[in-house]
Amino acid sequence: MTTSTTPDSSATTPLLDLQALVVAVRRRRRLWYAMALLGLLAGAAVAVLMPPPPTAVTEVLVAHKEDQPNDTGTLIRTDVEVLGTTRIAEKALRSLHSSADPEDFLRDYRGTGVTNNLLKITVTGGSDAEAVSRAEALADAFIADHVQRMRATADAEAKALLDQRDRMKDELAQVNKDIGGRSPQTETDPQESAGIESLFARRAELTTRVADFNQRAEEARVGTPQVVAGTQIVDAPRPVKHSLAKAAATDAAIGLVLGLVLGLALAAVGVVVADRPVLRRDIAANLGASVIAELPRRSGRRRRTRVARERLTAHLARTVRGSTEPVSLLELGCARGASVIALDLARAMAAEGTVTVIDGLPGPQLSDRRPKPGDPTVVGGERAAAVSPQERRLGVGSVAPGTAWTDLRYLGTQTVLVVRAGHGSAAWLHTVARQLADQHIAVIGVVLIDPDPRDRTDGTLWDGLHTALRGRSERPAQQPGRRRTERQPMWAARGADNDQEAR
């Protein structure tokens, strides 16, 4: 049994490549920039077009008979809930002589517990004056209801204590009656004497309990005035001043953050769902060919772009000169860029002989251009057979969805793929590699358009010399009598290794 040295892709490929995800999301910055800008504008528009209604605020100090230093805010939360009842709303509307529905009025105000004894009431209205009057009516209605409830509680507690006292008094009167009914002659009888002593002890106990109930009833009543005096408005109702500039800035900042988060989330989800490789490493692995050159996207620095184009043209010219078979440029997601590269390459090779560019692009990138002095001859794909064999041919085509794969061999039996990073899905890149292998079109390499500037991955397939550009000069010479085999993409070579191992 032979041990394969090919690493298992399922063991080395992570379920989610965070590096590729971050790079792809960063490349879609136009999306989340647009979402952030939209959120910014929406927040500012909301602040301008939907200003807050006139608002008034007041604060009420609420005293509780059960106040404790270690209270966790249960009492003030109860007061907040009581403020939000229809009973308080109805009393406030009655004092305002308003016929509004209490249920509707509940949506116009809210209570907030600032501390254990401080209640803040916020009310909205049609104007500042109306909001202030509503806040005052609500505060008065709440204070009156709170005082009434505290008095009712104190009265009920005092009444219960006084009822207990009256029962003790009745029992005490009965004991006194029993003591008074005993004759003096019974004092000589030991049993009668013990009974009289128990009655006296019972009378003393009842007398003490009656006095205790009297005191507790007085204390219950005494606590109510403190609650009544302590519950009051400590901050008079006043309108709340709203700054349009501050509100617009706040809402715009909130909209900016929300839009940015939403844009990042949409970009991340889109990247995961679309599965469009961006890194050199992934594009090379999916196409089964090494990245031999790159061309950054067009930027404001024209000199840098021109230098990059000249370097790419020189590199491709050296590659095409060393090929004994017709070479083509096949684009994926960059038809205009491929046509410009083809014209630059043809001009660079024009000094060595006549170069004819065969236009196999589906669009008008080459057919509708205006020829300039020194430009090569451009012919359509239908006239490719009429080109003289002595002329050097350079085909330009496309491997986008809808491509006629059988026509690609007429453009060249060797090709350089011009691929825009992040354009094709992983599945389509695999399809391109398989179709080119089926047509026996050898892939010299990949020219990556618009690569990520922070990509530090290696786009060279080091485990397959037959797919790398360096392998064209490092392959061993063909043995006599041995049939020449076509070069295969990496995925096909790995599949063959796996089949051999299985056997």
Looking at the predicted structure, is the pLDDT value of residue 143 above 90? Answer: yes
The whole-angstrom separation of Cα 268 and Cα 276 is 12
How many H helices and E strands in the chain?
A: 15, 11
**What spatial distance separates the first Cα and last Cα of the chain, rounded to whole Å?**
9
| pLDDT value of position 494 | 40
pLDDT at site 479? 41
Judge whether 466 and 486 are in contact, CB under 8 Å: no
Nearest partner of 417 among 431, 406, 433, judged by Cα: 433
Task: For 498, list phi and psi in degrees, rounded to 5.
Answer: -65, -40
**Pairing state between β 442-449 and 414-420:** parallel
Enter the DSSP assignment of 422. T
> 164, exposed or middle or buried, with CB in 10 Å at 0-12, 13-18, 19+?
middle
What's the half-sphere exposure (Cβ side, CA atoms, 13 Å) at 161?
19
pLDDT, position 301: 61
- Inform me whether the pLDDT recorded for 367 exceeds 90: no
pLDDT of residue 315: 85
**pLDDT value at position 500?**
47
pLDDT at residue 379, as a whole number: 79
What is the reported pLDDT for 388?
66
pLDDT in tens, 212-239: 877 777 766 666 777 777 889 999 999 9
Q: Which two tokens stand for residue 169?
A: 């008094």
- Three-class DSSP category at 295: strand
**Residue length of the chain:** 503
Dihedral, 470, 474, 477, 482 alpha carbons, nearest 10: -60
Work out the angle at residue 457's Cα, subtended by the Cα atoms of residues 452 and 463, and round it to the nearest 5 degrees.
Answer: 135
H/E element, 417: strand 414-420
- Count of CB atoms within 10 A of residue 72's CB? 9
Q: Where are the alpha helices (DSSP H) in 181-279?
A: 190-230, 244-274
- Quote the tokens at residue 493: 């070579």
Answer for the pair 51, 247: CB distance below 8 angstroms, yes or no.
yes
- Dihedral pair phi/psi, residue 6, rounded to 5°: -75, 125
Note the pLDDT of residue 64.
83
Token code pair at residue 217: 């009833």
What is the CATH code of the structural domain delimited by 280-502?
3.40.50.300
Lowest mean pLDDT among 34-48, 139-153, 245-259, 358-372: 358-372
Range list of β-strands (E), 315-410: 327-332, 355-359, 377-380, 392-398
Give Dmax over CA atoms of the chain in angstroms: 159
Question: Higher pLDDT residue, 319 or 195?
Answer: 319
Residue pair 280/450 in contact by the 8 Å Cβ criterion: no
Among the listed residues 347, 281, 354, 273, the one whose alpha carbon sits nearest the alpha carbon of residue 313: 347
Mean pLDDT of the chain: 79
CA quadruple 347, 351, 356, 362: dihedral, nearest 10: -20
Q: Is the pLDDT of residue 124 over 90?
A: yes
Proportion of the chain in helix, strand, coil states, percent, rounded to 5: 55, 15, 30
Question: Do residues 313 and 343 make contact, with C-beta atoms less than 8 angstroms apart?
Answer: no
For residue 355, the cross-strand partners are 392
132 within 8 A of 237, measured Cβ to Cβ: yes
Cα 369 from Cα 346, distance rounded (Å): 15
Residue with tokens 């009668």: 192
pLDDT at res. 58: 95
129, 131, 132, 133 alpha-carbon torsion, rounded to 10°? 90
The 3-state DSSP class for residue 499 equals: helix
467 has pLDDT over 70: no
Asked whether residue 123 carries a pLDDT value surpassing 70, the answer given is: yes
Instruction: Tokens 């807050």: give the residue.
Output: 52
Nearest 10 degrees: Cα torsion 163, 168, 171, 173: -100
Does the structure show a pLDDT above 80 at 289? yes
Closest of 332, 342, 323, 283 to residue 442, by C-alpha: 323
The residue written with tokens 């909301």 in the block is 46
**Under 8 Å between Cβ of 323 and 414:** yes
The residue among 330, 364, 353 whose CA lies nearest residue 449 is 330
Instruction: Express each pLDDT in 314-365 by its tens digit.
Output: 888 887 877 778 888 999 988 888 888 888 888 888 777 778 888 888 877 6
